Amino acid sequence: MIKPHGSSTLNPLYVQDAAKRNALLAEAKTLPKVLISSAAAGNAVMLGSGYFNPLTGFMNKADSLSVSEKMKTTKGLFWPVPILNVVKDASMLKGSKRIALLDPNVPGNPILAIQTVEAIETYTEAEMKFMSEKIFRTLDLEHPGVQAFNSVGNVGIAGPIEVLNFSYFESEFPETFRTAYQIRDEMKKLGWEKVVAFQTRNPMHRAHEELCKMALEGEKADGCLIHMLLGKLKPGDIPADVRDAAIRKMVELYFPPNTALITGYGFDMLYAGPREAVLHAVFRQNCGCTHLIVGRDHAGVGSYYGPFDAQKIFHDDVPQGALEIKIFEADHTAFSKKLGRVVMMNSVPDHGKDDFVMLSGTKVRTMLAAGQALPPEFARPEVAKILMEYYQREAAAEKKGN
């Protein structure tokens, strides 16, 4: 395993000592309270988990603008996206030194963390646009990341935090949610030193499965960390519990024992393409992974990014030595009818489009909702069955609603 980003040891911000945590919860009841955004709550969970090592809390304006422009803080730490706690109005916090952050994603809005307030700063409209353009490469509000980023307010609360729980992720996904330090511990127990990480927000079809195996073989790795996003997604994406079940079934049946570790992290998807790919690399390094698989249109959405922009950024914009983790670059993978196996499409120049088994997302959803089996070359039947049951439930609910 490699060392964390920016420090020799991992420094998660979750308060692990129970007595100290209880004392802070008691203190929090006396503090001004702020209902934060889902994005800020996700940031707090990632900080608490050690994924955002070595950050100590939410960034101030100078760091946010510097990170947006140059991918480094004012002190020179390499970092790809601003980590913010932004609200619409902080006038009630004037003069407050410490505040309690309330979780927007759990009924009753319990206390998620305590923040020491170092600065309360307003971002101008021009500064919000500047950050949006740099992070997402677009100002189009149809882009789900841009829309989310610009809908929560423009008043930033900066300062270190002490995280008191992991929101809903620990209770809703007890078998899957893991902190960066827990993942390091599990990989150590397995004896893994060289580890490839696979990022996903979707179920894994045959192509994804084989891509992980290609990376394992290509890097002569000990294991693959299948690391799924458990937070909020855009409408139409498959819910985390369904995806989790489908991935577990695939690994159980089709991966050799002790070669894949199924885990998840608590964060809302940014859909920021290249910048998000770099963030993915940062926090997989904090998990101890040596390689991250970066495929076609990694972390993208729609047609906002070129198919290989997420690979290009590592060559063009990530300074040499800024990260220890390495990138396993992958093309689109699909089942070759000619060869009878899944291949990277750029490795078979003699193939035409009709030589591959490929289905669009729309076609897959339509077939599953209608109860039609997917081709076994495209999806493992046991995985397809789990997805079919989900889509049929959705179709029935929609029909009932109409």
Q: Is the pLDDT of residue 382 over 80?
A: yes
Residue in the structure block whose two tokens are 């170092």: 118
pLDDT tens for each residue of 120-145: 999 999 999 999 999 999 999 999 99
Return the closest-CA partner of residue 42 out of 329, 247, 269, 371: 269
Using 50, 70 and 90 to split pLDDT, how confident is the model at 14?
A: very high
Distances from the Cα of 132 to the Cα of 146, 148, 153, angstroms: 6, 10, 13
Contact 292, 329 (CB under 8 A): no
Q: Which of 98, 202, 248, 365 is catalytic?
A: 202
Q: Is the pLDDT of residue 116 over 80?
A: yes
Query: Domains of the chain by range and CATH?
Result: 18-170 (3.10.400.10), 176-401 (3.40.50.620)
Known active-site residue 178: no
User: Structure pTM?
Assistant: 0.93
Contact 50, 11 (CB under 8 A): yes
Question: Which pLDDT does position 402 carry in this prediction?
Answer: 63
Known active-site residue 402: no
Averaged confidence pLDDT in the chain: 94
d(CA 281, CA 85): 22
d(CA 34, CA 100): 6
Using 50, 70 and 90 to split pLDDT, how confident is the model at 362?
A: confident
Q: Which of 21, 98, 137, 201 is catalytic?
A: 201
Q: Is the peptide bond before 54 cis (omega within 30 degrees of 0)?
A: yes
φ, ψ dihedrals at 313, nearest 5° = -60, -30
Question: Which pLDDT does position 345 carry in this prediction?
Answer: 85
- Burial (CB count <10 Å: 0-12, 13-18, 19+), residue 18: exposed
CA angle 344, 347, 350 (to 5 degrees): 115
